[in-house]
Structure 1
Amino acid sequence: MTDRELELRELAGRIRERDAVADAWLAKSFTDRLLVVDVRAEATLPTDLRGDLADRDLLGANEVYGNTADDPSFAGDVGDGERHQFVDVRTRGDHRSYVCE
C-alpha cells in the first residue's frame, strides 16, 4: 500500500465519523482512484468537506471528467441518500485496470 493510499484510507475513516455521512471508501475507476462518499437521507454533503477534499487534491468527478452537472461530485441517489465521487487528481492516470478473458 502506498503512502497516498494509506492517507486516503485514513481520510475516508474520518469522513465516516461525520453525522451526515453514511459511508466513505476508496474505489478505482479505470485509471483513477476515487473517494466515494454516501450521504444519509435527509442530509446534504457538508459544505466544508468539499473544500477539505480539494485541499487534499480530491475534486468532484463531474468536474474532473467534464460532465455537465450542477453538482461537481454528485453521482446519484442511493436509497434515500446521495452518492458523491471525488477523483484523486494527485495520482490521476497512475492506476491500471485490466480485463481478463
Structure 2
Amino acid sequence: MTGRDEELRDLASTLREHDAVHDAFLAKSFTDHLLIVDNTAGERLPEDIVARLRAHDLRGANEVYSEGVTDVSFAGDIGNATRHQFVDVRTRGDHQSYTVE
C-alpha cells in the first residue's frame, strides 16, 4: 500500500465519523482511484466535506470526466443514501486496468 492509499483510507475513515455521512470508501475505476461518499438521500453533501476532499486533491467525478451535470459528484441514489464519487486527481491516470486481448 502506498502512502497515498493510506492517506485516502484515513480520510475515508474520518469522513465516516461525520453525522451526514453513511459510508465512505475507496474504489478504483479503469485508471483512477475514487473516494466514494454516501450521505442522506436527497440532501446535498455538506460543503465542509467537499472542501476537505478538495484539499486532498479529490474532485467530483462529473467535473473531472466533463459529464455536464450541475452536481459535480452526484452518482445516484442507493437505498436511503445518495452516492457521490470523487476522483484522486493527484494520481489520475497512473493506475493500470486489466485488459483482455
TM-score scaled to structure 1, two decimals? 0.93
Equivalent pair of 1:20/1:43 in contact (CA under 8 Å):
no
4+ long deviations beyond 2 Å: 40-44
**Counterpart in 1 of 2:66?**
66
1:51 aligns with 2:38: no
Residues 1-101 of structure 1 mapped to structure 2, 5 A cutoff: 1-41=1-41, 43-99=43-99
Structure 2 unaligned regions, length at least 5: none
CA drift of 1:51 comes to 1.2
User: Which has the higher mean CA deviation after the structures are superposed, 11-20 or 44-53?
Assistant: 44-53
Moved more, 29-38 or 90-99: 90-99
Where 1:23 maps in the other structure, the secondary structure is strand
Quote the RMSD (CA, aligned, Å): 1.4
Cα distance in 1, alignment partners of residues 24 and 34 from structure 2: 10
- In 2, distance between residues paired with 1:64 and 1:100? 26
CA distance in 2, matches of 1:78, 1:47: 21
Unaligned runs of 5+ in 1: none
Counting matched residue pairs gives: 101
Deviation by residue 1:74-101 (Cα, 9 ceiling, x = unmatched): 0011113200000000000011110458
- Percent same amino acid at aligned positions? 61
Cα distance in 2 for partners of 1:43, 1:6 equals 29
